[in-house]
Amino acid sequence: MQKEADKIFQSTCIFDSVSEEAYPGYVAIKGKQILCYHYTALTIIVSVRYFVVYRFINTPYCCINCIHHINILFLLLRFKSKTIMADNYIERQQEQYEARKAAWKQAQKYGKKKTTTSSQVKTEVAGEIVSKPDSLKKRVFVTGGAEGIGRAIVEAFCKDGHQVAFCDINAVSGQQTARDTGAIFHPVDVSDKEALESCMQQILDDWKDIDIVINNVGISKFSSITETSVEDFDKILSVNLRPVFITSRLLAIHRKAQSDSNPYGRIINICSTRYLMSEPGSEGYAASKGGIYSLTHALALSLSEWNITVNSIAPGWIQTQNYEQLRPEDHSQHPSRRVGKPEDIARMCLFLCRDENDFINGENITIDGGMTKKMIYTE
């Protein structure tokens, strides 16, 4: 009897290292070793502890019986955390599965029906080529997408696997960006109302709808107010501000005419921190960006009927060329200790366009490394 008990004790004393083949109660889920102990194992270990206590303590049977129950409680407490961990992990996996399933069903409510042969777009993520199904692709239109911030936005959405078209007045840069990214380029002067509307209408006809409009196009011209003509002022507004209204209005007209409502829509307007701070000679630019700031929250209310959220992004100093030539003091003056890059703005655009971020609406998001929060006085 003693030899048999010793044999059982030696075979079970290191229970945490038991393998799945040796003990069927051991379960491994996604690399996480979660121990689900069979009740027979508890009986074996309790018996072993019973034997050890009886052997070394030589306690009367009635006391041993009490210790037997204490041992059971000890084992239950010991393995309670692991059992709960297993239960919680399985519950989390089930919740995540149900969430993905619900999101997939919602995506199938609009657009092309899912088929086993649906085309897929390849996208580069972290150096790997992955596929995004048609149901998850968004149709994106960017104004002023040939250079600078606009190009970074086009690149970001193309890499994320979306269908992208953009317009720009610079035909050479536009064609180069199209070749580099795979996006569709339309040469357009956005100050020409008919040209911009024709471009967007063509995209709507080809794609049946547009999910995301990013109004990025903008020009700046700084000159003394005594040397700035009314025509100069109007030109800046016709490029920076008026296209925001034109594209938003045309998308609303299109959505209103559709019998099948698209449950998703985003408009992002590229504003500037100059909507709230200025320097001499910036009247036209400041006015255009201030107009975008106000137009954004007005559009957010007007377009909610068609499930379109409208937000603006106010960049600070974004260096679009020769970043490596900046001086140390250019970077150090920012609380973030660096000057901004076009990719900083593109990442925020992607964030705002995620399906789950539809509760962000009518907002202006400043991305300037903290400069507008910095109090500056001459010492």
Cα distances (Å, whole numbers) of residue 21 to 18, 28, 42: 8, 12, 18
- What does the radius of gyration of the chain's CA atoms come to, in whole angstroms? 32
Backbone angles phi, psi at 85, to 5 degrees: -60, -40
Is the Cα torsion angle 169, 173, 175, 181 positive or negative in sign?
A: negative
3-state helix, strand, coil in the chain (%, to 5): 55, 15, 30
Task: Name the residue type at position 71.
Answer: N
The amino acid at residue 44 is: I
**β-strand 26-29 against 309-315: which pairing, if any?**
unpaired
Quick check: 267 and 301 in contact, CB under 8 A?
A: no
**Residue positions annotated with a catalytic role:** 285
Q: Is the pTM of this model over 0.85?
A: no
CATH number for the region 122-373 comes to 3.40.50.720
Q: Return the structure tokens found at 356.
A: 């789950």
Q: 239 with 216: CB under 8 angstroms?
A: no
Residue 11 burial (CB count, 10 A): 13
CA 174 to each of CA 145, 160, 198, 266: distance values in angstroms, whole numbers, following the listed order: 7, 20, 18, 23
The CATH 3.40.50.720 domain(s) of the chain lie at 122-373
Burial pattern 48-79, b for ≥16 Cβ within 10 A else e, equals bbbbebbeeeeeeeeebeebbeebeeebeeeb
Rounded to an integer, what distance in angstroms lies between the CA atom of residue 363 and that of residue 62? 73
Cα–Cα dist 197/11, whole Å:
80
Per-residue pLDDT of the chain (379 residues; tens, 9 = 90+): 445 544 444 444 444 444 444 434 434 434 444 444 444 454 555 455 555 455 545 554 445 555 555 555 555 555 554 455 555 666 777 777 777 777 666 665 554 443 333 334 444 444 443 457 777 899 999 999 999 999 999 999 999 999 999 999 999 999 999 999 999 999 999 999 999 999 999 999 999 999 999 999 999 999 999 999 999 999 999 999 999 999 999 999 999 999 999 999 999 999 999 999 999 999 999 999 999 999 999 999 999 999 999 999 999 999 999 999 999 999 999 999 999 999 999 999 999 999 999 999 999 999 999 999 999 887 7
